[in-house]
A and B are shown apart, each in its own frame.
Chain A
Amino acid sequence: MSNIADMFFNLDIMRQALPLLMQGLVMTLKLCAVVIGLGLIGGLFLALAATSPRRWLRWPTMALIDLMRALPPLVLLIFIYSGMPFAGVQMPAFTAVAVAFLLNNSAYYAEVYRAGLQSLPSGQWEAARATGLSMPQTLVHVIIPQAVRNVLPDLLSNTIEVVKLTSLASVVSLAELLYQANMARSVTYNSSPLVLAAAIYLVLLWPCVRLVSRFQRKLSI
């Protein structure tokens, strides 16, 4: 028992590792800001293209979304980080990670938005168009606000996944939270930094997870 406390909950080691982990946390948050921010916007455009009546726009978009859903994000990341340099495309780890996760997550956000867009009755389109609103005006003022509101729980749920996903950046040595924790572990031969990292993720995400559950309950009743 004391062994467990020593190996996993060693306060001394945690205290020593904390500054390093905080640096990592900053990097994680930066990554989240980029991927979530751009993903929310990119996903919306993908979803609009994927629900477009124009076939030449819809089909390639759906293909891209399905491709991204079928590829594990880590594979995409390794491909971009280790594979692209062979083609002469070199980029810093942060960029590689951001590009890979952005591709992956725009597709996931797009799926969420798409469900929201398709949940709206066509009467909303017609009413808006009949009052002379243009297509973009209809989207901005009538369709998108309702679609987003309808899928808010799923957007939140996907955003949680993005935050968790950023931990994969440690594989390509981007100094985010998990990378720093794992460094501290290998230096101290002690797992407490990993446990501390887990605790930080929990503090960050547990409230969100609760909120998603609450949302789902409310929707279903």
Chain B
Amino acid sequence: MERFLEVFFAPQVFARYAPDVLYAMMTTLWLGLVIILAGIGLGLVLACLRTAQCWWLTLPIVIFADVMRALPPLVLILIFYFGLPGLGLTLSGPLVLFIVLTAVLAAFAEEIFWAGLTALTRGQWEAGRATGLSFFQTLIHVALPQAVRMGIPSLVNRALAITKMTALGSVIGVKEILAVSSSAQAMSGSATPLTMAALAYLAIFLPAVVLARWLERRFSWRV
């Protein structure tokens, strides 16, 4: 037990690297936040565009959503990070991470919103149009609020899963929690920084998981 504590909870290592890990937590938090906002926003826009029902909008959206959902994000990250410089276009690690994860989240969000929109009965659309709302007004005021509400539990879970993928940034030199703790581990020759990484992630994501549970219960009614 003592040996276990020594390996995974050495206090002096803890103290030595705490500031670095805390700083890295900010990076993870801030990256995650931007990705969530951009990803869900983009997904919402795509789902709305799809309601227009013209094939030259629908087709690219569907292909985008399918490809982004089928490809492992790490493949995209490597292609962007190592491939693009060959074309004279060098993107920083955080930027690559942001672009890829935003695209992935947008793809999932688009599908979730779209599923919600198609789940609405024709009656809801007709009620909107019959009361003199335009197509666009019906979309904004009648259809979307219901679709969003229906999608919230899946959306929260998906956003959570994708924000956790910021850990992939460690592969392309983003100074987020995992990267910082990994190098601290190498430097200190102790496993404690890895424990710190796990704790740091738990500090960020455990509340999110609890929130997701709460939302699930709250929104579990079906329209």
A and B touch in the complex (CB under 8 A): yes
- Interface of A toward B, CB cutoff 8 Å: 3-4, 7-8, 66-67, 69-76, 78-79, 82-84, 86-87, 160-161, 163-168, 170-171, 178, 181-182, 185, 189-191, 194-195, 197-198, 201-202, 204-206, 208-210, 213, 216-217, 220-221
Chain B residue contacts of A171, Cβ below 8 A: 170-171
- Which of B7, B167, B209 is the one whose CB lies under 8 Å from A70? B209
Among B66, B70, B111, B119, the one with the most A-chain Cβ atoms within 10 Å of its Cβ is B70
With contacts A182-B78, A194-B78 known, is A209 near B69, CB below 8 A? yes
Contacts of B213 in A (CB 8 A): 66
Instruction: Identify the closest chain B residue to A190 (Cβ).
Output: B86
Q: How large is the interface on B (under 10, 10 to 19, 20 to 34, 35 or more residues)?
A: 35 or more
- Can you name the residue of chain B whose Cβ is closest to the Cβ of A28? B72
- Cβ contacts under 8 Å, A70 to chain B: 201-202, 205-206, 208-209
Which of A82, A86, A195 has a CB less than 8 Å from the CB of B79? A195
Across the interface, do A79 and B118 meet the contact criterion of CB distance under 8 Å? no
21 inter-chain pairs at a CB distance below 8 angstroms, sorted by A residue, are A66-B206, A67-B202, A75-B178, A76-B198, A79-B195, A82-B191, A83-B8, A86-B8, A87-B3, A166-B72, A171-B170, A171-B171, A181-B75, A191-B86, A195-B79, A198-B76, A202-B70, A208-B70, A209-B70, A210-B66, A220-B116
Instruction: Please measure, in the bound complex, the distance between the C-alpha atom of A194 and the C-alpha atom of B100, giving whole angstroms.
Output: 15
A213 touches B178 (CB 8 A): no
**Assembly CA distance A206 to B118 (angstroms):** 22
User: Which of chain B's residues 186-223 have a Cβ closer than 8 Å to chain A?
Assistant: 190-191, 194-195, 197-198, 201-202, 205-206, 208-210, 212-213
The one of B3, B69, B82, B115 in contact with A217, judged by C-beta atoms closer than 8 angstroms, is B115
Smallest distance from the beta carbon of B18 to chain A beta carbons, Å? 17
Secondary structure at the A interface, as helix, strand, loop or mixed, is helix
Contact status of A178 and B78, CB under 8 A, knowing A66-B209, A74-B178, A87-B7: yes
Q: Is B87 an interface residue (CB 8 A)?
A: yes
- Which residues of the partner chain A approach B191 to less than 8 Å between Cβ atoms? 82-84, 86-87
Contact B111 A7 (CB under 8 A): no
Inter-subunit contact B79/A191 (CB<8 Å): yes
Given contacts A72-B164, A209-B66, contact A4 B87 (CB under 8 A): yes
- B:56-83 near A, CB below 8 Å: 66-67, 69-76, 78-79, 82-83
The 8 closest A-B pairs by CB, nearest first: A191-B83, A220-B119, A167-B72, A86-B191, A70-B205, A205-B70, A72-B167, A164-B72
